[in-house]
Structure 1
Amino acid sequence: MNNIQALKEKSMEVELRPVAYAEKPLLSNLYQFYHYDFSPYTEEDLNEDGRFEANIDYFWQGDPRWNPYFIMLSGKIAGFLVVLFENLDTDPDPTHVIYDFMVLPKFRRTGVGSAAAKKAFALFKANWAVAQMENNTAAISFWRKAIGEFTNQSYRETYRKDIKKYIQRFSTK
């Protein structure tokens, strides 16, 4: 089997599984890796306990805007993503945002992340926005490619100088 065929088969096995409240400790542990990965861009420091601050309690406090999913590959956790229904409290048709997204290093550059992103976009018929920090060039490239493939290059990108982020917008309606 060649590498391209293996990647396609691996992508086909990617699933998104909602994170149950009982799995909160597991997701919290994964957030430590997420914050570690992001620390070169955020310059976040460890707390006194040697951990990154990662409070995810609000995902389960009755706020339906937060939707965490494990990225599963052949029954194993390959990462996670969180879809936020932005402004759901004030807008009956909220923009959906990939709020957090992390693929474990061993699964990166295999198509797993792209497959997970596309599955997330297909979950909801909505207007979407995905943002990346201007100094995270790998994320910018990843999202441009994944969104471009998903939308057949039918997306709009803006740069917000005030928050130093690139934002891609598109619709699945």
Structure 2
Amino acid sequence: MAELAVRRAGADDRDVLERLWPLFLHDLSEFRGVLPNPDGTYRREWLESALGDATWAAHLVRSGDRPVGFAFVRALDSEVRVLNSFFVVRGARRSGLGLRAVRSVLTAHPGRWEIAFQEENAGAARFWRRVAREVAGDAWTEERRPVPGKPELPANTWVAFDAR
């Protein structure tokens, strides 16, 4: 496997992140029925926040010279950080790269974490529970929370743990 690199994204990474972003939302559309906008684009507010808001951090994941994913962290100014978005391209999944990448992001921002996922996304559910177990042992929690402003959607599952 090529060398993994996870680093804070900068202005020079905007184009790459903009190209990966629709792949992420397309993957999620399978579980929540989110359709593109009339012009074929997807919503971008999280992407814009990750690239321009000081309380967020965007991380780019590379395997060798290839961009293979990203992680967006929000609430850097809070006691609890939130992994808002995490994506690994399909060709790099189930290789251990995702777990290594998320560990790198957690290490970059030590402290209390919360991560949401959709239970109907079985792969994500297995992955995030595995991350919680490997990072925190038995010292993690899980709860269901309604999606704010979207009562028609099933509740998200949230895991919480310390990563120091």
Please report the TM-score for the alignment, with normalisation by the length of structure 1. 0.81
- Given candidates 155, 158, 162, the residue that maps to 1:167 is 158
Taking the aligned partners of 1:72 and 1:107, their CA distance within structure 2 comes to 10
Match of 1:79 in 2: 69
Q: Residue 150 of structure 2 aligns with which residue?
A: none
Q: 1:45 to 1:14 in 2, by over 3 A?
A: same
1:73 and 1:153 mapped to 2: Cα distance?
31
The alignment-based identity, stated in percent, is 22
Query: Which of these residues, 88, 95, 98, is aligned with residue 83 of structure 2?
Result: 98
- Deviation, structure 1 residue 113: 0.5
Please, which runs of 5 or more residues in structure 2 have no aligned partner? 148-154
AA in 2 matched with 1:85: A
The 3 A distance-change label for structure 1 pair 58 and 83 is closer
Residue 66 of structure 1 and its aligned partner are, at CA, apart by: 0.9
Q: Distance in 1 between matches of 2:4 and 2:135?
A: 16
Shift of residue 115, structure 1, vs aligned partner: 0.6
**Offset of residue 168 of structure 1:** 0.9
Deviations 1:118-147 (A, max 9, x none): 111111221111111232222111110122
Residue 131 of structure 1, aligned match among 91, 96, 116? 116
| RMSD value, Cα | 1.8
**For the structure 1 residues 59 and 124, does the alpha-carbon distance in structure 2 shift closer, same or farther, using more than 3 Å as the test?**
closer
Where do residues 116-127 of structure 1 align in structure 2 (5 Å cutoff)?
A: 116-127=101-112
Aligned: 1:156 with 2:147 = no
The superposition leaves residues 52-71 of structure 1 with CA deviations (integer Å, 9 ceiling, x where unpaired) of 2224223343x311100111
Question: In the alignment, does 2:39 pair up with 1:52?
Answer: no
Q: CA deviation at 1:23?
A: 2.0
Distance 2:131 2:51 in 1: 29
Structure 1: where are the runs of 5+ without partners?
1-9
Q: Distance in 1 between matches of 2:139 and 2:4?
A: 24
Note the alpha carbon deviations across 1:28-50, whole angstroms, 9 max, x for none. 11111011101112211122222
- Partner in structure 2 of residue 39 of structure 1: 29
Q: Number of matched residues?
A: 156
Q: Which of 33-42 and 14-23 deviates more?
A: 14-23
TM-score in terms of structure 2 length:
0.85
